[in-house]
Homo-oligomer: A and B are copies of this chain.
Amino acid sequence: MNGPQAAKWEMVEAGGRTAQSFGLNRLLGQIYMLLFLSREAMSLDQIAAQLGISKASASIASRQLESWGAVRRVWMKGDRKSYYAAETNLLRIVDGGLLPSLLKKLHSARIQIERSRRLLEEGDGDPDQKRFIRVRLDQAESYRSKIEALLENPIVRRIL
């Protein structure tokens, strides 16, 4: 194998391992890295062939990546195939998928804490126990909002 190919393959494997280390499907990291290191956009067949996987798997994983904004579809004139290209701008990936998804989780965490607080106050029980849970729910909400503030902080964005 020549230099570029060897380097690319090494990165593709590392991408797969990294994805797995975050609890994601290995293919997500592999496909992203493959596209990141490809000069031209690739069709599903090309992706599947390069990675030795079925077209079905390539299709599912590529659309997953697309939904996160990590990859985009490009159309070649005079070709019905759809091609995928990596989004190489980190901020665009962050804004287009990662950040919204984290903010959504933080939002539902807030809703959840509110719901629990309601259950706490509406039901009865030992006052001391109630007081304790109340303090902890407040603490949880305090951390939650700090994390939210962190994600939305312009200083943080500017570092990337």
Contact = CB atoms under 8 A, between A and B. Distances in A.
A50 interface: no
Interface size of A as a range:
35 or more
Nearest to A5: B125
Number of copies of this kind of chain in the complex: 2
Contacts of A119: 3, 6-7, 10
Contact of A123 (B4, B112, B133, B143): B4
Given A105-B18, A112-B14, A123 B6 contact: yes
Interface of A: 1-8, 10-11, 14, 18, 21-24, 36-37, 39, 88, 90, 105, 109, 112-113, 115-117, 119-126, 129-130, 132-133, 136-137, 139-140, 143, 146-147, 149-150, 153, 155-156, 159-160
